[in-house]
Amino acid sequence: MAAATKIFAAQGLSAPTAIIAKEAGVANGSLFNYFQTKADLLNQLYLELKTEMAAVSLTGLPTESDIKHQLFYMWSRWLEWATSYPDKRRTLTYLGVSDEITPASHHAGSQAMAGIARLLERSRENGPMQDAPLGFVVSLMTALAEATIDYMVQDPANAKNHCKVGFDAMWRIVA
Amino acid sequence: MAAATKIFAAQGLSAPTAIIAKEAGVANGSLFNYFQTKADLLNQLYLELKTEMAAVSLTGLPTESDIKHQLFYMWSRWLEWATSYPDKRRTLTYLGVSDEITPASHHAGSQAMAGIARLLERSRENGPMQDAPLGFVVSLMTALAEATIDYMVQDPANAKNHCKVGFDAMWRIVA
Amino acid sequence: MAAATKIFAAQGLSAPTAIIAKEAGVANGSLFNYFQTKADLLNQLYLELKTEMAAVSLTGLPTESDIKHQLFYMWSRWLEWATSYPDKRRTLTYLGVSDEITPASHHAGSQAMAGIARLLERSRENGPMQDAPLGFVVSLMTALAEATIDYMVQDPANAKNHCKVGFDAMWRIVA
Amino acid sequence: MAAATKIFAAQGLSAPTAIIAKEAGVANGSLFNYFQTKADLLNQLYLELKTEMAAVSLTGLPTESDIKHQLFYMWSRWLEWATSYPDKRRTLTYLGVSDEITPASHHAGSQAMAGIARLLERSRENGPMQDAPLGFVVSLMTALAEATIDYMVQDPANAKNHCKVGFDAMWRIVA
DNA sequence: CATGAATGAGGCTTCATTCAT
DNA sequence: CATGAATGAAGCCTCATTCAT
């Protein structure tokens, strides 16, 4: 998985399985002892990365603090993870738009983000988006996060500031 | 170009050039009389679609109205274009993340959006993002637009409403 | 087709398509411009050989002679064809028992043998097998022909005699 | 062996050894503790089935009866065995035409049929094929048996009748 | 400039066989 | 003697690109 993440990040999803196997230090065919198909590998990797991202973002959540602080904590961890593991982040981005990822995987991916969605649900209570579908709000937040990450990666010197600016923008949307 | 747009939207960028040629009603070799390579086709298509999108969004801009109305006009045209030509939009999305698109093309694509950027520049004057890099603000707006389009396509019955909700969110970000 | 016949006769149906292409003097991939699939090649070859075999066996049939002479003429031509083109015959034998050959091809193959079946139908009139299903009689005759061919190939010096002995045996079965 | 027979009958001789091992309930590597190579397995299986077939056909032969009755007894047992164990029969057919089976195995297979050949030898005494090579006569009989079996399998309702009709045809050939 | 057959490198996948445990 | 993960050669097939007509 680590090898695949690295190679996909560098070469895109069209990278040959042979390269991944070599990176992993195993033989060409060995890869297919673990994944029946390349598409299988893509789907499992998608789910793993998505799950890890969500899990990391919620680990150590200060549940005692007020909701804005909690949301900011989650947001920070998310963006920190994405900028700390650019390969994982880039690969996850590729996978998210790949047509090899099945609807089932996409659905499972959304499930993994349920915790984040719940946080957002509470954040928008009484806010201007209280009547919009929650899925819509999640999509907007995700889009902002992605755009912010891009900017942080592109201009690392001010990463922390961009992170804050992105969060404030997001907060203005929901609350 | 039209044929390529249609085929890429349906099959992804890995669609064979032969299929595109057939869709266009020409011989498979003829395609290479117009584009030296497949990557060439991708880059030209990217630029064409991006330019069209930007042009459409600004055509008929009510320059006499206040800035918020102008921004909403642009936003509406953009999202209307995207939902009216789902093939163009989907293909443009694919192209946007493809590693076949050269930095030069990406740069030219940004140039095409200069008009939109100018509008946004004026919108955020004195707003909470007045100090952020303009490129960042454009990225956030683009991300919101994409997410909103996705939702409009997914739930066409309430498309108009989603469009408005998305705009209001965007406006809260900048002004 | 000729190349495939030769190679399959020599190496069995598991012969690589690359070898066939080389024998035909074309590139590896060119084969797939003519046959979508290796299975496709097998099926088309099966039909071609079966049809040729049946056609050759009936060409110049002495329709004025009595039925036994006609049957012997057909039988002789058949066995002559098989021994003259051992590659075709061997490949046809392989194809006949391959599970790559579709039921549709088998059916079409039987159709090709309709002329031979008609001859046999007339031969068995009033004979001991007049009440058996015609298909059964055809199968028995085919089986005898195959066995006789094997013997002719194996002992070419007496091929002509084996041919006659085989025919007499067959004639005793039907008339 | 039983597992191999079943799997080969269902999937052809190209069935993976791993599937056979699984069917046999052993690890895929264990198969190679008993057979040095897959070809080895094929050859041993060929011999076992051929031997069983011949042995069954001759068990309980009514040696006191006249030769025609003995031949019919043998014929019936043969065809009964083939229709009772379609997997064994089908696998034996595949093996018979496989190029993995060595000449030595083919020879040993013929040896196993020596008893049947002897019966046929006596049957054709003074008959129309008294001067033909015995091997030829055996081949013709085998061919008829195979064709008859095919028909019995295909139309089981009249199997017994087809068996008798096939025998009568064979008898007319030799006596 | 159009055509479309030919090319051949390269990708995914299978599977007989090995071998350390 | 059993296991089963690992191997890597080999096969089928795809497809961007060329080029003679």
| Amino acid at the residue C88 | K
Q: Which residue is nearest to nucleotide F15 (CA to C1')?
A: B16
Q: Give the pLDDT mean for C24-31.
A: 94
> What is the pLDDT, as a whole number, of residue B175?
87
Query: How far is B18 from D70, CA to CA, in rounded Å?
Result: 69
Residue-wise pLDDT for B7-61, tens only, equals: 999 999 999 999 999 999 999 999 999 999 999 999 999 999 999 999 999 999 9
Within residues 39-78 of protein chain B, the ones with CB less than 7 A from nucleic strand F are: 39
| Amino acid at the residue A170 | M
Of residues B140, B151, B173, nearest to A139 (C-beta) = B151
> What is the pLDDT, as a whole number, of residue C175?
87
> What is the pLDDT, as a whole number, of residue D175?
87
The single-letter DSSP state of residue D157 is G
Query: How far is A167 from A144, CA to CA, in rounded Å?
Result: 9
Cβ contact, residue pair A143, B139, below 8 Å = no
Residue-wise pLDDT for B121-147, tens only, equals: 999 999 999 999 999 999 999 999 999
Distance from CA of D144 to the nearest CA of C (A): 6
Minimum Cα–Cα distance from B98: chain A residue: A12
Residue-wise pLDDT for C148-171, tens only, equals: 999 999 999 999 999 999 999 999
The single-letter DSSP state of residue A1 is -
CA of D38 to C1' of E18 (A): 14
Of residues C93, C139, C151, nearest to D147 (C-beta) = C139
Minimum Cα–Cα distance from A169: chain B residue: B173
C18-53 residues labelled b (16+ CB within 10 A) or e (exposed) = ebbbebbeeeeeebeeebeebeebbbebbbbbbeeb
Contacts of A99 in chain B (CB under 8 A): 12
Query: How far is C154 from C133, CA to CA, in rounded Å?
Result: 32
pLDDT along chain D (175 residues), means of 10: 95 95 94 95 97 96 95 97 96 93 95 95 94 94 96 93 96 94
Chain F nucleotides close to protein (CB under 7 A) are: 1-20
- Which of D139, D155, D162 to mutate to test binding with chain C, by most C CBs within 10 Å of its CB? D139
> What is the pLDDT, as a whole number, of residue C113?
95
Contacts of A14 in chain B (CB under 8 A): 14
Verify if strand F has an atom below 7 Å from the CB of A3: no
Minimum Cα–Cα distance from C146: chain D residue: D143
Contacts of A143 in chain B (CB under 8 A): 143-144, 146-147
Q: Is A113 helix (H, G, I), strand (E, B) or coil?
A: coil
Verify if strand E has an atom below 7 Å from the CB of C37: no
CA of D53 to C1' of E16 (A): 29
CA of C27 to C1' of F18 (A): 14
In chain A the domains, ranked by start, together with CATH numbers, are 38-174 (1.10.357.10)
Query: How far is D149 from D163, CA to CA, in rounded Å?
Result: 8
Q: List, in sequence order, the alpha helices (H) in chain A.
A: 2-11, 17-24, 31-34, 38-58, 67-84, 86-97, 103-112, 114-123, 134-154, 159-174
Please give chain A's pLDDT, 175 residues, in tens.
999 999 999 999 999 999 999 999 999 999 999 999 999 999 999 999 999 999 999 999 999 999 999 999 999 999 999 999 999 999 999 999 998 999 999 999 999 999 999 999 999 999 999 999 999 999 999 999 999 999 999 999 999 999 999 999 999 999 8
CA of C19 to C1' of F11 (A): 11
Contacts of B93 in chain A (CB under 8 A): 97
**Contact criterion met (CB below 8 Å) for B50 and B94:** no
Of residues A12, A139, A165, nearest to B150 (C-beta) = A139
CA of C101 to C1' of E6 (A): 28
Query: How far is B73 from B164, CA to CA, in rounded Å?
Result: 11
